[in-house]
Amino acid sequence: MGWWGKVLGGAFGFMLGGPLGGLLGAVLGHNLDKGLKDLPENGLPSPGDRERVQTAFFTATFSVMGHLAKADGRVSENEIQMARLVMDRMDLDGAMRDTAMRLFTEGKGADFPLDEVVEQFRRECRSRRTLIQMFVEIQLQAAYADGRLDAAEERLLLRICRLLHFPEPLFRKLQEMIQAELHNHQGAERGMQLDDAYAILNIDPSAEPSEVKKAYRRLTSQHHPDKLVAKGLPEEMMKLAQEKTHEIRQAYETIKKARGF
């Protein structure tokens, strides 16, 4: 039985506990808030720990996304559509999609415990920085659903980054990447532009070929779907990671072609 089946069956989900367990329990009608258990500080999670992290990732992703959508005082149709698009890209089935939308709605509530939810998510992830980065990337993509990042959304994202101990300079790099990806998607018919390719790889246009290759390999490794799932990314989110690695590859090939190496 996969992680989701165990959550629905109550055979695993109760182990999550804390505010994340409380949120998931509220939308599923289960009593999951049984307290926290310690996880190992380092290394890959055991199968049971991995399922727990997958549950935490899923719960935090959609509830925080709902809270972020409300940051400017109202939830736009674009923001709702972005949440649905993420679910479409994950190919969620009926039960998971319904749960994700309910978590999104919980996140919009005035009493949503953002600090506690994000803090627990950080503790569950422990040293899995690539997992935390994937979470921040998804939230940034949601924030840019309407094509821009307003001041309230930016403040909230920076607050989330502080809670996750995620450096602001790295957040700014991710922001540039998301902006480049958005620009690339908007002009997909013309092909990827060189400026967007450099931004997606997080490198300067003056970078040496060796630096370009190094950046490409580093980003490909960070977003490798199998590695992320091994660290606790829900299997359903593998498609998001696969899309990301495809875009990274496209950026690398664009620069290679333009530079002739």
Q: How many CB atoms lie within 10 A of CB 88?
A: 12
**Is the pLDDT reported for residue 24 higher than 80?**
yes
State the pLDDT confidence band at 84, using cuts at 50, 70 and 90.
confident
The tokens for 197 are 């390719």
State the pLDDT confidence band at 15, using cuts at 50, 70 and 90.
low
What is the Cα–Cα distance from 99 to 86, expressed in whole angstroms? 13
Residue 64: per-residue pLDDT: 96
**What does DSSP assign to residue 45?**
P
Backbone angles phi, psi at 164, to 5 degrees: -85, 0
Residue 59: per-residue pLDDT: 94
Task: Give the lowest-confidence range in 15-19, 43-47, 175-179.
Answer: 43-47
Which comes out higher in pLDDT, residue 72 or 2? 72
**Is the pLDDT reported for residue 107 higher than 70?**
yes
- The overall average pLDDT reported for the chain is 81
Q: Residue type for 61, please?
A: T
**Is the pLDDT reported for residue 120 higher than 80?**
yes
Structural domain of 33: 3-259
Tracing tokens 């998971």 back to the chain, one arrives at 96
What is the Cα–Cα distance from 157 to 134, expressed in whole angstroms? 14
Does the pTM of the predicted model rise above 0.85?
Answer: no
What percent of the chain has a predicted confidence (pLDDT) above 70?
A: 84
What is the Cα–Cα distance from 115 to 157, expressed in whole angstroms? 12
Q: How many domains is the chain partitioned into structurally?
A: 1
